Amino acid sequence: MNLKRNAILLTCGAILFTTSGTLLSPMSTQASTMKINQNKIVEIKDPVLKEAIKKQLNLTPDEEITYDNIQKLTDLNVSESAIKTLEGLENAHSLKTLYLYHVQQFDGNLAPIAGLTELTELNVGKANITDLLPLKNLSKNMVGMSFEDNPHLTDNNNILGAFTHLKTLSINNTAISNLDFLKNMYDLDILFLNNLPLDATSQLTYISQNKALTKLSMNNLALSSLEFIRPLQDLQGLSVKDNHIVDFRPLTATKVDSHNDDLFSAENQSISLPEGTVGLGTHVSLYLPKNDAPVLKWNALGDFVNNQLTWHETGVNTLDFSSNDNLISGTIQQVIK
């Protein structure tokens, strides 16, 4: 008799005999199977990840990570480590926060966490990420995400558009070239959009609709106006360095303190004016917050009166401007014939 074959057949029929001939019910079989599954060792391929999980679960060096105890893992931080892969983490179904920032040896594959729908916070900044597709089903509970410093990361499939409950989002220094994903976001509190390969001017309405915003960073986005921040009455922190802004009066509609260097920065504005003529003025809407007078530095003879910039010599002329504390600064350039 083929005992192995019969055992398989009996098991498949949900009837199993013990060695003493006692009949086990289907319920007993299921409970036994469940117990075996719970005690099953979870293979974590990466030694750095394995050690981090064991430490978080307070396991001894001799204890194994099992399917049962990995369900107790709710928070994991492996930032600035030598981790290479997340393989095995797909079993951590209770995981809520994952911090994977600045992991230069990481393979960039987020597929192992694709089914971890309890996640509320995810930081994979500077982690060689190029694709957000594995995250498409994680929007249910997610409130905070950071993808900054992944220079090859795109979102051509608009995966971010599904994350309508986000409170914080950072995509600084990525290759994301469109802000359409913001159109269905209304609850953002913190938003970082620095150094993206786009002109944000046509998509500023999506930012204005997030009236709960308290911190906003939009450096190097070709901005020429701050009118879009007027509806953001709770805004306290703002960074708009490396843009083309000269009129800072919209700041008065917010709670931003333009003299607090911890919460405000607007250095290095660059403004190019149309070609002009010696002795003829060009209107420039240069306004600092609270009607503060700008500090001016000339590279050629000229004057600035009643927002009229007039040059008295030809050439490529520049005028540097700044606030007294230098939190606002920039250069106006004009070719004069």
Same domain, 10 and 76: no
Same domain, 25 and 76: no
Same domain, 98 and 21: no
DSSP string for 142-155: --EEE-TT-TT---
> What is the H or E stretch that residue 271 is in?
strand 264-272
Token pair of 317, please? Answer: 């002329």
In-domain check, residue 217 = yes
In-domain check, residue 160 = yes
Same domain, 125 and 52: yes
The reported pTM is: 0.86
In-domain check, residue 192 = yes
Check residue 17 and give its pLDDT.
27
In-domain check, residue 131 = yes
CATH number of the domain that residue 51 is part of: 3.80.10.10
Check residue 200 and give its pLDDT.
85
Q: pLDDT of the chain along its 337 residues, tens only?
A: 343 333 322 233 332 323 333 333 444 444 444 444 768 999 999 999 999 999 999 999 999 999 999 999 999 999 999 999 999 999 999 999 999 999 999 999 999 999 999 999 999 999 999 999 999 999 999 999 999 999 999 999 999 999 999 999 999 999 999 999 999 999 999 999 999 998 888 889 999 999 999 999 999 999 999 999 999 999 999 999 999 999 999 999 999 999 999 999 999 999 999 999 999 999 999 999 988 999 999 999 999 999 999 999 999 999 999 999 999 999 999 999 9
In-domain check, residue 319 = no
Check residue 102 and give its pLDDT.
98
8-state DSSP, 301: S
Check residue 109 and give its pLDDT.
98
Same domain, 9 and 150: no
Same domain, 29 and 45: no
Check residue 188 and give its pLDDT.
97
Same domain, 74 and 198: yes
Same domain, 172 and 23: no
In-domain check, residue 288 = no
Out of 231, 265, 299, a domain closes at 265
In-domain check, residue 326 = no
Burial of 37: CB neighbours in 10 Å, binned 0-12, 13-18, 19+: exposed
Same domain, 220 and 161: yes
Same domain, 72 and 189: yes
Check residue 27 and give its pLDDT.
45
Burial of 13: CB neighbours in 10 Å, binned 0-12, 13-18, 19+: exposed
Contact 333, 316 (CB under 8 A): yes
Q: Which domain holds residue 18?
A: 3-36
CA distances (Å), 109 to each of 134, 140, 240, 267, in order? 8, 21, 33, 37
Same domain, 74 and 197: yes
With H, G, I as helix, E, B as strand and everything else as coil, classify residue 158.
Answer: coil
Same domain, 23 and 107: no
Which ranges in the chain belong to alpha helices (H)? Answer: 3-12, 26-38, 47-56, 204-208
Look at the chain and report how many structural domains it folds into: 2
In-domain check, residue 336 = no
